[in-house]
Amino acid sequence: MSLKFNKNGKFKIMQITDIQEIPSVSPDTIKLLNSAILEEKPDLVVLTGDQIKGYGTSYKIKDKNLFDVVKDTLEILLKPIVDAKIPYAVTFGNHDRQVGISNAEQFEKIYKNIGNCIGEQAVGIDGGGTCNIPIYSSDGEKIVNNIYLFDSGTDAKGGGYEPFDEKIIKWYRATRDDLKKQSGAYVPSLVFQHIPMCEFYNVLKRVNSTTKGAIRAYRTHKNEYYVLGDSCKKDGIFLEPPSIPNENTGEFDALNECGDAMAVFVGHDHKNSFVGRYKNIDLGYTQSSGFNTYGNRKKRGVRIIELDENQPSTYSTYTRTYDELVGDNVSRPLFDFLSSKAPETMDAAYPMIIKCLSILAIVFFLFAIIF
C-alpha cells in the first residue's frame, strides 16, 4: 500500500504509544482511541511500542494459548483503526517481547494479519518494527516525505536499556542515500521509536534540586535535576526523567548528518509530552494512551503530526487528550489516581522505598522511647 498526500496536499499522522494493555482491556483506553480516530481522521497511525504489558502474569491464562491471547488483545486495541480503514505501522518497545513472543513473530504473524498494517521489515535487521515508509505527492509521481520506524531495543541486563542497534544506523544511512538517488535530494523525514536517545537531555535544562518542578534523573544522570529547556514549546509536560540507553551508539549524530531528519518522536516515559530542539532536529515525547498502566491520568492521549506537500521540510504537531476527547470520568478513578503516583521505574522506586523505611524507623524509635 502506497501512501500519498490528499488532493489538498495534506497528510496527517497519529502517533499512539505505550498502550501497554492486558487481556482485560480498559474501556477507557478504547474510548480514547475510538474518539481520537473519529475526530482526527488520520491518514496513517504509527504505534511506537509497548502495545502490550508483556511482563507479569496477565497473559498467562489457564487453558488458553499465549499466542491467541496476545492476538485477541491486539485485535481489540486495533479495532478502532481497522474499522476506520486507516493504514497503520508498528514498532516495538521494551515490554512487547517480554510476553514470550518475539517482536518478529508478533510483527509477521499477528500485526500483518490484522487489518491494514503496512511497512516491511528492514533487510538485515533482526526482529520486527524497523522500516521506512515513503509518502508520495498527491499525484503519486514523487516521494515528498519519508517515515522511519526504528526498533529501539529492550531492557539491558543489570538494569537500564540496551544500546541502540548500530545495524539500524547503518541501514538508515543506506536507505537515506537510496532515497536521495530516487528523488534527486535528501527526503525530509520523521523518525518514530520507543526509547528516547541520549540527546533528549540536551533539550532539558539542568537545575538545582530546589528548583520548582525539578525532576530527578537516574543512572547515567544520577542525582541530576532538570526542567524543560528554552527550546521546548510552552505547552510541554515534563514529569519524569528520560529513560535513555546506557550507552550512546551515535544514532542522533547519524540522523543529524544530512539534514533530512526533521524530528524524532518517542514514548517510553508515559507522563512526558513535549517537543524541544537540539541542533537541527526536534525531539518529541508523546504521552501514554493506556489506562491499565501508570500515566498522567486524563492527560493520556495521542500526538498528531501534519505534513504539507507544498512545504515538505516543515510540519506541525499537537496532542489530543482523554479529557478533551472523552470527558472527566474514568471507569476506575481510584486505580487511576494511585497508578499516577506509582514510581515509573525501579530507579525511581528505590528512593521512595528508602524514604518510607526511614519514616518507619523514626516512628518505631519514637514509639520505643515514649512507651
pLDDT digit string (tens) for 122-178?
A: 999 988 899 999 999 999 999 999 999 999 999 999 889 999 999 999 999 999 999
Run of H or E residues at 55 = none
**What does the alpha-carbon distance between residue 350 and residue 367 come to, in Å, rounded to a whole number?**
26
One DSSP character per residue, 101-154 reads S-HHHIIIIIGGGSTTB---PPTT--SS--EEEEEE-TTSSSEEEEEEEE----
Dihedral (Cα; 297, 302, 303, 309), 10-degree rounding: -160
Total-model pTM: 0.93
Residue 127: predicted pLDDT: 84
Residue 341: predicted pLDDT: 87
Residue 353: predicted pLDDT: 58
Question: 297 is written with which cell numbers?
Answer: 491520568
Four-residue CA torsion sign, 173, 174, 178, 184: positive
One pLDDT digit (tens) per residue for the chain, 371 residues: 789 999 999 999 999 999 999 999 999 999 999 999 999 999 999 999 999 999 989 999 988 999 999 999 999 999 999 999 999 999 999 999 999 999 999 999 999 999 899 999 999 998 889 999 999 999 999 999 999 999 999 999 988 999 999 999 999 999 999 999 999 999 999 999 999 999 999 999 999 999 999 999 999 999 999 999 999 988 999 999 999 999 999 999 999 999 999 999 999 999 999 999 999 999 999 999 999 999 999 999 999 999 999 999 999 999 999 999 999 999 999 999 998 987 767 676 656 556 666 666 666 656 567 75
Residue 62: predicted pLDDT: 86
Give the up-direction half-sphere exposure of residue 67: CA atoms within 13 A in the CB hemisphere: 9
Of 192, 224, 206, which Cα lies nearest the Cα of 88?
Answer: 192
**What does the alpha-carbon distance between residue 244 and residue 364 come to, in Å, rounded to a whole number?**
39
Residue 364: predicted pLDDT: 62
Question: 191 is written with which cell numbers?
Answer: 523518525
The contacts of residue 309 (CB under 8 Å, 6+ apart) are: 5, 9, 10, 11, 137, 138, 144
The answer to whether the beta carbons of residues 200 and 147 sit under 8 Å apart is: no
3-341 topology per CATH: Purple Acid Phosphatase; chain A, domain 2 (3.60.21)
Residue 352: predicted pLDDT: 59
Query: What does the DSSP 8-state code read for residue 52?
Result: B
Residue 158: predicted pLDDT: 86
**What does the alpha-carbon distance between residue 168 and residue 173 come to, in Å, rounded to a whole number?**
9
Of 281, 292, 305, which Cα lies nearest the Cα of 338?
Answer: 292
Residue 115: predicted pLDDT: 86
**What does the alpha-carbon distance between residue 56 and residue 128 come to, in Å, rounded to a whole number?**
22
**What does the alpha-carbon distance between residue 137 and residue 142 come to, in Å, rounded to a whole number?**
6
Residue that is written with C-alpha cell 499477528 in the block: 110
**What does the alpha-carbon distance between residue 155 and residue 320 come to, in Å, rounded to a whole number?**
29
**What does the alpha-carbon distance between residue 226 and residue 208 come to, in Å, rounded to a whole number?**
8
The answer to whether the beta carbons of residues 102 and 67 sit under 8 Å apart is: no
pLDDT digit string (tens) for 330-343?
A: 999 999 999 898 77
